Amino acid sequence: MRTLVTGGGGFIGSNLVEALLHRGDSVRVLDDFSTGRRENLADAGRWAKDGGGALDVMVGDIRDAAVVRRAAADSEVVFHFAAMPSVARSVADPLTSHQVNVDGTLNLLLAARETGVRRLVFSSSSSVYGDSPTLPKVETMPTAPISPYGLDKLAGETYCRLFHQLYGVPAIALRYFNVFGPRQDPASEYAAVIPRFIAAALAREPATIFGDGEHSRDFTYVANVVRANLLAAAASESACGEAYNIACGERTNLLQLVQLIGELAGAVVPPRHAPPRPGDIRHSLAGVEKAQRALRFAPEVGLRDGLARTVDYWRHAG
């Protein structure tokens, strides 16, 4: 199969590229490597050789419509990961966040309409729900994002639905809940909590928690998200034009998380508290029944197993 992965040099995107090459796909990656890393694709030759796939890396910006059209040419399936992926960064720079996350998505949908792709899978986020106290989050709930990033992802979802309704573009949106795993950069200013905690544990240093640590998340190992993308690409036409939660359906607070990571790393990791960050929600938990029904999705790797794999990855990568 001929596939396009935008943002394929990023954390989740590169994990999907690995799976696609292993199954023998011809994969084109479009990435400007502003947040993605070329190192994430360093083993692509081995992945392709093992599975019989082929990789073409195209360096370009999702905001450039002409570049996007060239990248999408001849693609049967498009997986859209390219984004400015940070709540905190979107609060600091809402204009760039909009340009990358909304304008870039619109460029891709226009290209998909022109080229007649068989399926487009859009990477959305649990941040579209905002800080509603209702748990679990289900797709029938009102959306109320509290950050530019969440608003951008909701706009992308809405464009996907409209392009399906108006132009027949077979688009599906997946709302990820706090994805973690190998290749997630712990050194970034906007790094997610798990790679930062693992880096602290392996360095035998305190872990910084923004707030009191009682806020909780539905942490989702990256292999579950890769599987969800593959299922969405193969789902029936009736699944298109919709958004689906992708998560494990379990909630863990940050104090529990740092303790568990310490156990897996063989270290005592004392929390060091800092002021809460603007745009952060208090609690998050997903209901995944809709994805189970329409996509046949079920998480296969739980939190502890996923953390153990991730700690092991960074122990050897370091």
Q: Catalytic site residues?
A: 149
- Residue 56: strand pairing partners: 28
Q: Which amino acid is at 136?
A: P
H or E segment to which residue 43 belongs: none
Instruction: Give the CA distances from residue 195 to residues 11, 14, 37, 312, 316, in Å, rounded to whole numbers and listed in that order.
Output: 11, 16, 16, 12, 14
H or E segment to which residue 98 belongs: helix 94-98
3-state secondary structure at position 158? helix
Q: What's the distance, CA 272 to chain centroid? A: 27
Backbone angles phi and psi of 226, in degrees to 5: -60, -45
Q: Maximum distance among all alpha carbons in the chain?
A: 55
Cα gap 63→313, rounded to integer Å: 33
Cα gap 2→54, rounded to integer Å: 9
